[in-house]
Amino acid sequence: MNKLLHQLPQLLGMATSLLLLSVANVAWAAIDGISGPVFNLTAKADYISTADGGSLYAWGYANGNGTMQYPGPTMIVNQGDTVTINLSNELPVPVSIVLPGQQGIVSSGGGAGIMTQEAAAMAGSVPGTVSYTFTATQPGTYLYHSGTQPSLQVEMGLLGALIVRPSATDPLHQAYGHAATNFDHEYLFLLTEMDPAIHDQVLAKVTAGGALNVDTSAYHPVLWFMNGRNAPDTLLAANVPWLPTQPYNCLPRMHPGEKLLMRVVNAGRDLHPLHTHGNNFTLLARDGRLLESVPGIGPDLATSDFTLRSVPGETYDAIFEWTGKNLGWDIYGHTSANDPLAPNEYAPDHGKPIPVVLPNLQDVSFGAHYSGSPYLGSFGALPPGGTMLNGAGGYFHMWHSHNELEIVNNDIFPGGMMTMLIIEPAGTPIP
Ligand SMILES: [Cu+2]
């Protein structure tokens, strides 16, 4: 399986490139979401698509009167904001929102629940409502989800991410108020799983009316998601029209030497060890708190690793860098040691040619590789008659759950909790 697995970059690379190519002119933000500090969310039902061709009845939060989405809208606020979430409920059961890591949450309206105030079930055409207000005191990456029968409602899709940007610094390029958390690009990795049998039971009971007593103890997930999509849908552009309830993609892209901020949220029930091929990452923060020994000192307790253990309910911030260190060749394609060093270039390889002679133009392989070569470098000519498949000109590394049973869709390999990091040649635009 491992061998097969590691041949996948080529296959998926080809698929991705086609898709990237088709959306090359569509710009999307690194992390899609909605800005606060006031949010109007509606809990409602709809269907999501699974990458094996199926669809599942699901519950989720919509932005205002918009389409239900899985995951719910990523709410983006600034440190110090007074955040208000007005929740309207069109589902046949009470729902709520809990915000782990936020303090001093004041709720108004709704009825008392076990964990928090709840919006009542829809009565006729009148939705139940409740509001939550809090001050976002600490920057970081957070989870939000229903606090009402979470074993069922989180499974059904009532969850999402909350991002608090540090207001005192450069919030679009710094995760926390410290220079060690600077980044060039940021991406969300919200990890979940689903058991279709539970969704089918809920749909049957909702259709029949009456009590919604569903047994969630016999839980057997067979679908795994990153930002609400199974691979290979993770690689598609955001907001593709054929996935209306799954607007977010999960496709990290960077240039050599840059810093990529990984905002990882385990919103599911199982461990999802997230494995980054290509290099280690540096774990900077957990649950919205820097890994520092003294407040303000910076992440001196940061750790380097290649698999993030992703515990259910926890969130993580990590910086990933890909420098090409120790590859033994110059990833920037410098032919001479006299060329100026690129930013963050691994100096010992400066000017070292790639360790193979590139074939003649007539002989180069056609397909997933940039310019017919598996190596990054400067742009060049394609084979005669060749069209550009790898539109990004990139170098692909698979990022996936290291629970390898989770990289399938309903037992069909490959799929599930898997995506690709694309290293793109220096100087090419990344939105
Ligand atoms: Cu692997």
Query: What's the pLDDT tens digit per position in 36-59?
Result: 899 999 999 999 999 999 999 999
In a domain, 301, yes or no: no
What mean pLDDT value characterizes the chain?
A: 87
pLDDT category at 104 given cuts 50, 70, 90 is very high
pLDDT higher than threshold 90 for residue 23: no
- Per-residue model confidence (pLDDT) at position 427: 74
| CA 23 – ligand 1 centroid, Å | 27
Q: Is the pLDDT reported for residue 407 higher than 80?
A: yes
Separation of CA 261 and ligand 1 centre (Å): 20
- What CA–CA distances, in Å, run from 384 to 13, 44, 206? 21, 53, 59
DSSP state of 335: -
pLDDT of residue 375: 53
When pLDDT is cut at 50, 70 and 90, the band that residue 380 belongs to is: low
Per-residue model confidence (pLDDT) at position 363:
63
Q: If you measure from the C-alpha of residue 316 to the centroid of ligand 1, how many angstroms do you get, rounded to a whole number?
A: 20
CATH (domain of 104): 2.60.40.420
Specify if 155 maps to a domain.
yes
Q: What CA–CA distance (Å, rounded) separates 67 from 42?
A: 9
Residue 74, in any domain of the structure: yes
Kindly state whether residue 393 falls inside one of the protein's structural domains.
no
What distance in angstroms lies between residue 11's CA and the mean position of ligand 1's atoms?
14
How many domains does the structure of the chain reveal?
1
d(CA 37, CA 75): 9
Q: What percent of the chain has pLDDT over 70?
A: 84
Whether 239 maps to a domain, the answer reads: no
| Ligand 1 centroid distance, CA of 400 (Å) | 7
Whole-structure pTM value: 0.89
Length of the chain in terms of residues written = 431
Asked if residue 136 has pLDDT above 70, the reply is yes
pLDDT of residue 327: 83
pLDDT band per the 50, 70, 90 thresholds, residue 350: very high
Q: How many Cα neighbours within 13 Å face the side chain of 180? A: 17
Residue 431 belongs to a domain: no
Ligand 1 mean position to 5 CA, how many Å? 7
Over residues 4-20, the mean pLDDT reads: 41
Q: How far is the CA of 275 from the centre of ligand 1 (A)?
A: 7
Region 318-326: what's the mean pLDDT? 90
**pLDDT tens string 237-261:** 999 999 999 999 999 999 888 999 9
Report the separation in Å between the CA atom of 223 and the middle of ligand 1, taken as the mean of its atom positions: 19
**Residue 186 falls within a domain, yes or no?**
no
The Å distance, Cα 404 to ligand 1 centre, comes to 9
| Position 391 confidence tier, pLDDT thresholds 50, 70, 90 | low
**Least confident piece of the model among 183-192, 216-225, 302-311, 418-427:** 418-427
Enclosing domain of residue 59? 35-178
Asked, for residue 123, whether it belongs to a domain, the answer is yes
| C-alpha angle 267-270-271 in degrees, rounded to nearest 5 | 95
Cα of 274 to ligand 1 centre, how many Å? 10
With cut-offs at 50, 70 and 90, classify the pLDDT of residue 365: low
Q: Going by C-beta distance under 8 Å and a sequence separation of 6 or more, which residues neighbour residue 363?
A: none
Map tokens 């989180």 to a residue.
Answer: 154
